[in-house]
Amino acid sequence: MVEQKKNPRKSLLWYCVIVLAVIALLNTILMPQLNRMQTKEVDYSTFLDMLDEGKIAKVQMEGETIAFVSNDEQDPFIYMTGAWDDPDLVDRLRTAGVDFGKVVPKEESPWISLLFGLILPTALLWGAGYLLMRNMQKKMGGPNAMSFGKSNAKIYVAAQTGKTFADVAGEDEAKEALKEIVDFLHDPKKYESIGASMPKGALLVGPPGTGKTLLAQAVAGEAHVPFFSISGSEFVEMFVGMGAAKVRDLFKQAQDKAPCIVFIDEIDTIGKKRDGAGFTGNDEREQTLNQLLTEMDGFDGRKGVVILAATNRPDSLDKALLRPGRFDRRIPVELPDLKGREAILRVHAQDVKMGPDIDFAAIARATAGASGAELANIINEAALRAVRMGRYAVTQEDLEESVEVVIAGYQRKSAVIPPKEKQIVAYHEIGHALVAARQTNSAPVAKITIVPRTSGALGYTMQVPEDESVLMSKEEIFNKIATLTGGRSAEELVFGTCTSGASNDIEQATKLARSMITKLGMSDTFGMIALETESNKYLGGDSSMACSEGTAQAVDQEAISLIRKAHEKAISILKENMAPLHELAHYLLEKETITGEEFMAILKKYDEKPALEQNTKE
């Protein structure tokens, strides 16, 4: 991978201090010598007077010139005078104790003059300019901020991606759609002979964490071609026109290295819809999009340049980007199903030491709706837990606990809950479990716990369906709402009051009830009419009402009525099962965590009692 080296992060102030210190040091060393080189001419009589007064420390006699210095350290001058025909002068100097030696320093080398007069000041100025420029680069977006017009794409060769389709699990349909691109890159003549041309671009669409980037790397690894990877945000610059220049440079590099694959991650950053007025608020972003459209039209797809892009916001992309001839194919990369989750778990477990008793199918059933990234995190959390527990291999217990960690957070073992509140939590969770168990079309209870979690939950009831279903009936959704109200119903029946512990249950129940009315057409009043629109479905879904205020008020009333009926059903079920409710709650208080098997074993005792009583009467 071609990457730029990181510059050391030292502040500009630190470098300025260093420069000033060097200048001060040079001034301390050199300036006394320069000052000492100042000369002063005097007449011969002054020289003799200073000699008689004992003020001369050193003298140099050369030809007709006498140079001498004073013994006064505060006197910086080198005195110069003409030599007279005086045969007694040397004796007088010796008698006065004057030293004979070099007074005038040797003439400075021209190289030293060049160094201190030109090179050193120039280097200091250049260094200060370089540091100032680098500081600007940091503030403006990193070391590439001043590389105007150059693409920041990371270039991988085939061996560096290290990914193949064998590393991608749970996305069989997406792999099949991409294998044709790999085949084209391997043998383009097969397609040219029949007159077929390969799609120029393929758009990978799906929720975060489903493996869109991994699929793109696997295509490059299978095809054994260079792989250009760049994020859409890297095209966005503070200067207008720079993003478009980067697009041109990227496609130029791709043409030079064809056949190759260009992967643009998060393409919605630069590919958002342009409004009808032709004005968007960000001219730079629009110019970048226009340049991308032009380049995709301009390059020859027969050379083997394939453009792959990924996004989780397909509804926000410009229509011009999605038309045939640009991104011809739209490949969904959805959340994996039960079989896909099991395959993904097995792939990520290859590099982890696993115990002999691992049941990946059970973990896959417990993780409905999980993405590939979340499943990889579950395997890693299980490995970390095994290390904490002092084991050398991951067990089934580690995997089950890691599922709970991802769903509800870590256990808060240090949390202190008052006995009264703990009792309320126990009845609350048993209320959920009992209502679920006494209803048809309801997922079996797998675990009940009142151990607090870091997510804020004081306890939870885990239901794991035996088989994964794609469709949900009206009865199933209503039963799920009733199950959600079971916790609050148990509090009301046993303690005659209610607490704030049902806030999350209320939120989920309300969401389900409104969905039945506004999106799923399960309302007796409104029938099959969509009263709500949803956007960004891959990012949680932002919903907005698409009806009048009067209709919205009627929707609210029907949702209230629906939840009230579910609440009444839950209370009715619990009233018929008060004995098992009390026994199970006390058992949960004692154990803090019970399995679905333990829960059903106690509940079955009460199912057998009526039959036993009937037999006794007969």
Question: Do 224 and 314 share a domain, yes or no?
Answer: yes
**Which residue among 317, 332, 347 closes a domain?**
332
Question: Do 313 and 376 share a domain, yes or no?
Answer: no
Question: Do 345 and 319 share a domain, yes or no?
Answer: no
Report the alpha-carbon distance of residue 201 to residue 538 in Å, rounded. Answer: 21
Question: Do 178 and 254 share a domain, yes or no?
Answer: yes
Structure tokens at 29: 């060393």
With CA atoms as reference, report the closest residue to 48 among 6, 81, 10, 8. Answer: 81
Spatial contact of 152 and 4, defined as CB atoms under 8 Å apart: no
Number of domains in the chain: 4
What pLDDT, on the 0 to 100 scale, is given for residue 570?
94
Question: Do 521 and 591 share a domain, yes or no?
Answer: yes
Within a domain: residue 542?
A: yes
**Residues spanned by the domain of 47:** 38-100
DSSP per residue, 148-162 = TT----EEE-HHHH-
CATH number for the domain spanning 502: value is 1.20.58.760
> Length of the chain in residues, anyone?
618
Helical spans, DSSP H, in 519-548? none
Within a domain: residue 24?
A: no
Within a domain: residue 232?
A: yes
Residue type, 258: A
Question: Do 352 and 229 share a domain, yes or no?
Answer: no
Question: Do 441 and 551 share a domain, yes or no?
Answer: yes
What pLDDT, on the 0 to 100 scale, is given for residue 116?
58
CATH number for the domain spanning 368: value is 1.10.8.60
Within a domain: residue 412?
A: no
Burial zone of 171 (CB within 10 Å; 0-12 exposed, 13-18 middle, 19+ buried): buried
3-class SS of residue 229: strand
pLDDT means per 10 residues, the chain with 618 residues, are 42 60 58 56 79 78 77 76 73 77 61 58 70 60 47 52 78 85 81 79 88 85 82 70 79 82 86 63 73 77 78 86 84 88 90 89 87 90 91 90 81 78 92 91 85 80 79 89 94 91 90 90 86 73 77 90 94 93 92 89 79 43
E strand or H helix that includes residue 287: helix 283-298
Question: Do 400 and 541 share a domain, yes or no?
Answer: no
What pLDDT, on the 0 to 100 scale, is given for residue 282?
55
Known catalytic residue: 475?
A: no
CATH number for the domain spanning 51: value is 3.30.720.210
Question: Do 343 and 325 share a domain, yes or no?
Answer: no
In 233-243, which positions are buried (b, 16+ CB within 10 angstroms) versus exposed (e)? ebbbbeeeebb
Within a domain: residue 569?
A: yes
Q: Which of 286, 401, 429, 558 is catalytic?
A: 429
What pLDDT, on the 0 to 100 scale, is given for residue 148?
45
Question: Do 263 and 401 share a domain, yes or no?
Answer: no
Question: Do 267 and 359 share a domain, yes or no?
Answer: no
Report the alpha-carbon distance of residue 392 to residue 116 in Å, rounded. Answer: 67
Structure tokens at 247: 């697009």
Within a domain: residue 604?
A: yes
In 421-432, which positions are buried (b, 16+ CB within 10 angstroms) versus exposed (e)? ebbbbbbbbbbb
Within a domain: residue 217?
A: yes
Question: Do 430 and 553 share a domain, yes or no?
Answer: yes
Order the strands of the 327-332 sheet from edge to edge. Answer: 154-156, 227-231, 260-265, 305-311, 201-205, 327-332
Residue type, 260: C
Report the alpha-carbon distance of residue 497 to residue 495 in Å, rounded. Answer: 5
What pLDDT, on the 0 to 100 scale, is given for residue 13?
57
Report the alpha-carbon distance of residue 378 to residue 400 in Å, rounded. Answer: 9
Residue type, 594: I
Within a domain: residue 366?
A: yes
Report the alpha-carbon distance of residue 264 to residue 192 in Å, rounded. Answer: 27
CATH number for the domain spanning 252: value is 3.40.50.300
